[in-house]
Structure 1
Amino acid sequence: MKNIVFKTHIQPHLLAVLTFLVVVVLFFHPYFFGGKVLSQHDILQWEGAAHELIEFRKQTGEEGLWANSMFSGMPAYLINVEWSNQPIMWLQKLIGVGLPHPIRIIFFSCLSFYIALLCFRVRSSLAMAGALAFAFSSFMMIGLGAGHNARIAAIGLMPLVLGGIHLTLSGKRLLGMALTATALALHIRFNHLQITYYLVLVVTIYGLIQLYAAVKEGKIKDFMINGSLLIVSALLALGTFFGIFSATYEYSQYSMRGKSELVSQGQEASEGLEKDYAFQYSNGIFEPLTLFIPNFFGGSSQQALSKNSNLAKALRDNGLSSVQIQQQIEAVPTYWGDQPLTAPYYAGAIVVFLFVLGILFVEKKYTLWAIIVVALGIALSWGSNFETFNYFMFDYFPGYNKFRSVTFALCMALLLMPLLGFMGLERLLSQPFGKENQKKLFIALGITGGFALLAMLLAGMGSYRGAIDARLGNLPEWFMQALRDDRKSLLRTDAFRSLVFIALVAGVIWVYFKGKLQEKWAMVLIVVLTTADVALVSNRYLNEKSFGKDPSREFFAATDADLLIKKDPSPHYRVLNLQNPWNDARTSYHHHSLGGYHGAKIRRYQDLISSCIDNELQELISNYSSGNTSFASYGVLNMLNAKYLLTGSSSNSVVRNPSALGNAWLVAEVQKVNNPNEELAALCQVSTEKVAVVDQSKFQLANQYSDSGQVMLTSYKPNQLEYAAELAGNSLVVFSEIYYEKGWKAYIDNQEAPIHRVNYVLRALEVPSGKHEIRFEFVPEVYETGNAIMMASSWLLLLLLLGAIGLEIKKVL
């Protein structure tokens, strides 16, 4: 009995897990055999942003909750906060089977898709092939290489959610509920709401089609029961995420994703991102063809060419040395579409072939779902190139205007194409290979293979001129012509490549049905071909060059400039790195920075950058270049306590600002305005050392205050600041700290005092004459409440999962 159970129920799955492990180890071999780690740009930036919070947690066991190291201070919810959903963290580590982060993301993506295909009644061997095709697509590897770990992990768990939902609607209620709740909890824990939004769209379309089918088949009662159980599962999963979601939602109202308080003349205040920003990365109408032919649009913005390429030959003909030629061809803008920066998202030629096959073989309700989702994903990825649809979505769909990089919507297509494709192959292999099925196989081969052949034959008709060409400078015509010839060659070569893979897998199916190939070897060949198809393309964008011995140590190594600044004994001051300040979190690793790297900074701070700081920086650079080294006129930089400016890495590149106003100062005069527009305009003009600007529609202050006395910072923590004040009269103390009403509380001599917002972004307190102790504490209610709900929900979910698994094991035994 035990032997039968092992062979029929356990062995195939152990083989699948082992296969996933082997493929992962081989693909990421520089880590396992070379002692190297992935060099991920965004993760390095995250480390810089999170460093102070992580160190504070290590030293105190507390959560900092407020990140002073970026953009002069912002909530830490989207940077680094630990919550009380430990059981979900344990499950996450369990499905990663001890693999290192972020490599384990690819492994559990395989596992997720494998289980999903099993739920849709696809045999283990085909599920294995589908899982590898999904997890090793270039979409996943390009994202991983860039450091978009949360996005890739969230996408990797989408299939598991679909598997749980389908299992529940198919009548496996307890196991389906447990799987849905667990998968959704794991998915949302990565807190990538844009991907969750796409998942909701996928599930909604599936649910509506299943509802229609249930009505048509007279099974509406079962559907309503199963649907109710899924709602319970979703609520339980959301409970494990409640605190994170609540904090993210609360902060989003004040971030760049929220409603602007600035009003243009004759217009209402806008909400969400600006359209130009949201749709900056939009696929051209024909760019989704890279799902089938990876180099259809030339490849990536920076792609290596061979020594035998047209460009290499042209460079050689024009007298460049072999060293110069190698340097030139290592990172060539072969991409000729309209996006500023990109790499092709490839689903796999075999996957596209099987997707067409699935349309011909799978039941209509699943086929309709897949076609709608794939079409929707592609349409959303077109962004500004399909304005009628996407601007409607942006303006009217709840929450959609909070997201950018709409090309990520292709994850919907990359999810449903292999799902339907391998369901279709399962249906084909489960039926007699009669004339009708042979005809369908040839139709799928003719459509996909025919398109690849047509692309090869018509490749010479393209212009191969792209928007990126204008940014290359005044390169000679012979250079550009050689580059365009290479773009044409890349398309033709990859079209032939796709044709070969389609023909090979179709050949395997044909030979198997003709009885000339055993089933087990047919399955092995399908797994190998499918994996090779996607992995070889992914290897173009994530390979040995993507790894380094210790990129983090090298990136964050303290420079002479950093070491010089760190000699300052003050506990809290700020540094402004003039080298790309608003896209740099390396400075945040060592110092409290005015700049940073984050897509959801506080909106008012972004307003301040756009309206005041950028202008001051231009003026500062111009004046400094002409020998004017006075900082007295830069009121906004000074009020933010920009004590040091960095122009490079040497000690000579450190510029000290003697006019920085410090941690706190007293003002004599208050300039009152009536709205945010007036407040920002006035701030850019006043002397912030003497005057505070206040929006009197929100905060009530006197006109004059005593400016005799001093306020000194005596204790610093990310979530708590203490000051000693000695004042000669009733004073208005302005602090170089960002105002954020959801969580900051102020105390004067242990008595809570109201915090006023002045100078558009700063905190201020009215403090009476005399000696006082002042304390700011960041104690957000959303963290305290959210933690309690998350802990209870996580343990309930774990109990549900263990119970469901226990009952399934009991049935098998």
Structure 2
Amino acid sequence: MNADLKRNLLTHGLIILGFLIITMLVHYPSLLGDKQINQHDILQGQGGNQQLKEFRAETGEEALWNPYMFSGMPAYLTGVQYSGEILKHVYKVYLLGLGHPEGILFASFVSFYILLLCFKVRPIIAAAGAIAFGLNGFNIIGIMAGHNAKIAAVALMPLVLAGIHLTFTGKRWLGFGLTAIALGLQIRTNHPQITYYLAIIVLAYGINVLVNTIRKKDFKPFGINAGLMILAAILAVGANYGRLATTLEYSKYTIRGKSELKNDQQASSGLDREYAFRYSNGIAEPFFLFVPNIFGGSSQQELSTKSAVAEALESAGYNRTQIAQQVKAIPTYWGDQPLTAPYYAGTLTVILFILGILIISKKHKVWLISLVVLGIMMSWGKNFEGFNNLLFDYLPGYNKFRSVTFTIIITIFAMNLLGFVALERLVSSEWNAELKKKTFILFGIGGGFLLALLLFSGALGFRGAVDAQLPDWFIDAIREDRRSLLIKDALRAMMFVVSFAVLVWALFKKKVKVSQVLIGLLIIVFIDSFSLSKRFLGEEKFVKNPSRDFFAMTEADNAIASQTSAGERVLNLQNPFNENRTSYYHESIGGYHGAKIRRYQDLVDYCLQGELQSAYQKLQSQSLDFSGLQALNMLNTKFLFAGTQQNAVFPNRYANGNAWTVSKVTPVNSPDEEISSVCSINTKNEALIDQTKFDIPQISGSGIITLSEKTPNRVVYSADISGGQALGVFSEIYYPEGWEASIDGQEVDILRANYVLRALAIPEGSHEVVFEFKPETYYTGNTITLIFSCVILLIFIATAGLEIRHSLQ
């Protein structure tokens, strides 16, 4: 091994060790202590899949159906494991065995470091860029909220582009192997929205390469490399085939798919436009990339006990303890969104991006500048309506995703890449009149903007939508604090800009060495990024065993659990369709998930919300007569509860039971007719069946159907029918893919009744009725996943081995 190689390996090793140390500094309460981040979405996810984990531990079988959320739904997106996944072990190695969320941050550092190295940026600059990218506001806020899958997907984006860039810049086979395994890992994070944004980045890069190829008229290498990239993508998809195939199959039936209701305002496939654009950046809001508190920071910001708000509270008669408690969550945000937190990119990241605009040649920067602009325009959502409506209506797949503010990660990614490549160019260049002029322009733009912000901040008004809900004596104080937050962060940004300007001046005056300047820059980037990260991931965000406290069994849980049996459901009257804590212990009517079955959501919108209001009114009048709650009764809602105490639990003796026979079958001719009638019929005696989709059975009999056995994948009933054939209605959610039904071992067709339930025509006599969930997509997907995972791993090992061998020669 030659000396240069040894030195390079030592440098890379020390930098990666530095990344590990920074990860530990950010997450030290969990890595070095016994605390964890209190992540809301992670706790909700645990609530939704806890019973499935217990089922797996007890039986060794995978639960493919989740009966504990929304009365039942496929479990593909709530913790299903795929036996063919080899890449999960590769992922653990890449994270050095660190779990989520700690390992995600480490992976972000390493991935962006590798990307910058592939763009021929020296290691110390690449390390600074990696820190800036890893600790950007999008990542840190996502981790705080519990969006682990989303940030894991972001962490692997740079690694994919690194492989692609290697392929097109002379390292064809290493690039091919790296692209295949990196994309396989990225897809495996199971966050299609971020993968979609990655595709946009890759498309922009590809167009740039194609344009340069056309100029050079050198098409053969481009064709070979493009072919390898397509093959890498096929391999990556194949290595995730089980997950992708089941998700794709399921997505057609979720709120991300097309509505069957003609009366639904959302006529096309995808999300409702208002829902998708609910969180849209205001036109000026992307300035938070440069100054995080320019719009007041987050929706609930902690202020000092010496703030204007604290003084106002004191004047209003609050004592010190009350003031200290109140200032922990002040609505300082005054932008256009209902809730937010600033996705800060970094002061130096933005300055370096401007530097890239000024000094990088056109053919290497246009695609990155275009991505920065595109990401911002897309994040404007409803506030840039013409452009974004066009994308929503015509860009394939784009209407499947919500929270368009997430597109700002495209901007942050491109800014960091262009910025730190520009820094490499800057320190490698000779000082001349043109470069001097451009650096003056650079610091004039950055410093001038910040100076204007400081001088004219009083003219901004600082009026937020939330102000209408605040008392008059409070409004002036909160606006003064909003202004104070802006000024403090503008001064903070000015300090970093001036520090960088001094370093550049010292470099080109030859007062310091390049290495000293870069170390200084690395320190500035670290201080900037790390201090921002601690605003959101301070020690107070780490608590001892948050899941233990969150899921601690209450008196209400105990009371319900002691009286319910399999198939009997529970309705939490407190925000039931946005929480999964109930699902931790019980089969819940509600739940918390972004991909609910659309028909169930229709039932919520057309029936259940109204019945919730009726239930509230009944309880307020101290009545337990729930006989009129026809939809809740057909979902076998045995208990309603509204608190943690035993006296907050209310039994429902009118629930229809696990299954029943009806005396009347009413044919309907459309989903609209069915959903409009299901709330008003007596579901215990009458069933609605869409005759355009199912044959209406002739019935004359009746009987009793009792539940004998229930697991996530199998439900068994005993049926005693007399008087001829009967229609059995089962309080189980109808799903057209994977469920099979048999009567005494003979397969029969499953009908859909009352818009969401299963039904069977059962002949006279005593019978065993069995429902089994056997989705062929899942089982076939496991095999395909295993085959492609092995191929990807072998290709990566082979191509990396060839590169190592070449380096040692």
User: TM-score, structure 2 length as denominator?
Assistant: 0.98
Does the aligned pair in 2 maintain the 1:67–1:74 contact within 8 Å?
yes
Q: Distance in 1 between matches of 2:690 and 2:45?
A: 35
Deviates more, 1:150-159 or 1:512-521: 512-521
**Cα displacement (A) at 1:33:** 3.2
User: TM-score, structure 1 length as denominator?
Assistant: 0.98
Aligned twin of 1:716: 710
SS in 2 for 1:272: coil
Aligned twin of 2:6: 6
Does the aligned pair in 2 maintain the 1:171–1:226 contact within 8 Å?
no
Does the aligned pair in 2 maintain the 1:338–1:468 contact within 8 Å?
no
Structure 2 letter corresponding to 1:715: E
Q: Does 2:592 align with 1:594?
A: no
SS in 1 for 2:717: strand
Aligned twin of 1:808: 803
Aligned twin of 2:570: 575
Q: Distance in 2 between matches of 1:213 and 1:129?
A: 29
Shift in CA distance, 345/269, structure 1 to aligned 2, threshold 3 Å: closer
**Cα displacement (A) at 1:452:** 1.1
Q: Which runs of 4+ in 1 moved over 4 A?
A: none
**Cα displacement (A) at 1:5:** 2.4
Pairing partner for 2:663 from 661, 668, 678: 668
Superposed counterparts of 1:651-690, under 5 Å: 651-690=646-685
Aligned twin of 2:57: 58
Q: Distance in 2 between matches of 1:315 and 1:661?
A: 53
SS in 2 for 1:686: coil
Structure 2 letter corresponding to 1:573: E
Deviates more, 1:39-48 or 1:155-164: 155-164
SS in 1 for 2:181: helix
Alpha-carbon deviations, 1:60-84, whole Å to 9, x = none? Answer: 1111111100000001111111113
Aligned twin of 1:125: 124
Pairing partner for 2:347 from 349, 355, 369: 349
Alpha-carbon deviations, 1:445-481, whole Å to 9, x = none? Answer: 11111111111111010111111223x34x1x23100
Q: Distance in 1 between matches of 2:530 and 2:262?
A: 50
Superposed counterparts of 1:459-538, under 5 Å: 459-470=457-468, 472-473=469-470, 475=471, 477-538=472-533
Q: Distance in 1 between matches of 2:495 and 2:4?
A: 40
- Alignment RMSD: 1.3
Aligned twin of 1:726: 720
Structure 1 letter corresponding to 2:611: E
SS in 1 for 2:590: coil
Q: Distance in 1 between matches of 2:402 and 2:56?
A: 32
Q: Distance in 2 between matches of 1:235 and 1:268?
A: 33
Pairing partner for 1:372 from 334, 346, 370: 370
Q: Does 2:793 align with 1:798?
A: yes
Aligned twin of 1:329: 327
Q: Distance in 1 between matches of 2:738 and 2:697?
A: 25
Does the aligned pair in 2 maintain the 1:694–1:757 contact within 8 Å?
yes
**Cα displacement (A) at 1:661:** 1.1
Q: Distance in 1 between matches of 2:266 and 2:109?
A: 47
Q: Distance in 1 between matches of 2:541 and 2:507?
A: 40
Aligned twin of 2:281: 283
**Cα displacement (A) at 1:97:** 0.8
Structure 1 letter corresponding to 2:5: V
**Cα displacement (A) at 1:499:** 1.2
- State percent identity of aligned pairs: 50
Alpha-carbon deviations, 1:33-87, whole Å to 9, x = none? Answer: 3321111000000000011111111111111111100000001111111113432
Superposed counterparts of 1:297-336, under 5 Å: 297-336=295-334
Q: Distance in 1 between matches of 2:700 and 2:2?
A: 85
SS in 1 for 2:268: coil
Structure 2 letter corresponding to 1:60: T
**Cα displacement (A) at 1:517:** 2.1
Does the aligned pair in 1 maintain the 2:290–2:346 contact within 8 Å?
yes
Does the aligned pair in 1 maintain the 2:19–2:109 contact within 8 Å?
yes
Structure 2 letter corresponding to 1:339: Q
Does the aligned pair in 2 maintain the 1:137–1:535 contact within 8 Å?
no
Q: Distance in 1 between matches of 2:622 and 2:138?
A: 50
**Cα displacement (A) at 1:179:** 0.9
Q: Does 2:430 align with 1:432?
A: yes
Aligned twin of 1:147: 146
SS in 1 for 2:704: strand
Aligned twin of 2:401: 403
Pairing partner for 2:356 from 355, 358, 377: 358
Q: Distance in 2 between matches of 1:544 and 1:737?
A: 45
Gaps of 5+ in 1: none
Q: Does 2:98 align with 1:99?
A: yes
Q: Distance in 2 between matches of 1:276 and 1:364?
A: 38
Shift in CA distance, 468/569, structure 1 to aligned 2, threshold 3 Å: closer
Alpha-carbon deviations, 1:697-726, whole Å to 9, x = none? Answer: 11112354312x211111111010011111
Gaps of 5+ in 2: none
Alpha-carbon deviations, 1:387-436, whole Å to 9, x = none? Answer: 00001111111111111000000000110101100000101111212222
Does the aligned pair in 1 maintain the 2:571–2:640 contact within 8 Å?
yes
Alpha-carbon deviations, 1:331-353, whole Å to 9, x = none? Answer: 11110012111001100010000
Shift in CA distance, 569/348, structure 1 to aligned 2, threshold 3 Å: closer
Superposed counterparts of 1:589-668, under 5 Å: 589-668=584-663
Aligned twin of 1:67: 66
Q: Distance in 2 between matches of 1:569 and 1:354?
A: 62
**Cα displacement (A) at 1:538:** 2.1
**Cα displacement (A) at 1:2:** 5.0
Q: Distance in 2 between matches of 1:78 and 1:167?
A: 34
Does the aligned pair in 2 maintain the 1:647–1:654 contact within 8 Å?
yes
Deviates more, 1:90-99 or 1:370-379: 90-99
SS in 1 for 2:389: helix
Shift in CA distance, 322/572, structure 1 to aligned 2, threshold 3 Å: same
Pairing partner for 2:540 from 538, 545, 554: 545
SS in 2 for 1:458: helix
Q: Distance in 1 between matches of 2:569 and 2:802?
A: 58
Alpha-carbon deviations, 1:608-640, whole Å to 9, x = none? Answer: 011011111111211232233212221111110
Q: Does 2:737 align with 1:750?
A: no
Structure 2 letter corresponding to 1:613: L
SS in 2 for 1:575: strand
Q: Distance in 2 between matches of 1:75 and 1:454?
A: 55
Does the aligned pair in 2 maintain the 1:714–1:722 contact within 8 Å?
yes
Q: Distance in 2 between matches of 1:317 and 1:768?
A: 77
Q: Distance in 1 between matches of 2:160 and 2:99?
A: 24
SS in 1 for 2:731: strand
Q: Distance in 2 between matches of 1:702 and 1:666?
A: 13
Structure 2 letter corresponding to 1:757: R
Does the aligned pair in 2 maintain the 1:304–1:329 contact within 8 Å?
yes
Aligned twin of 1:191: 190
**Cα displacement (A) at 1:693:** 0.7
Structure 1 letter corresponding to 2:537: L
Alpha-carbon deviations, 1:253-292, whole Å to 9, x = none? Answer: 1000011011129x88432111111111000000000000
SS in 1 for 2:689: strand
**Cα displacement (A) at 1:316:** 2.6
Does the aligned pair in 1 maintain the 2:12–2:123 contact within 8 Å?
yes
Does the aligned pair in 2 maintain the 1:670–1:692 contact within 8 Å?
yes
**Cα displacement (A) at 1:522:** 2.1
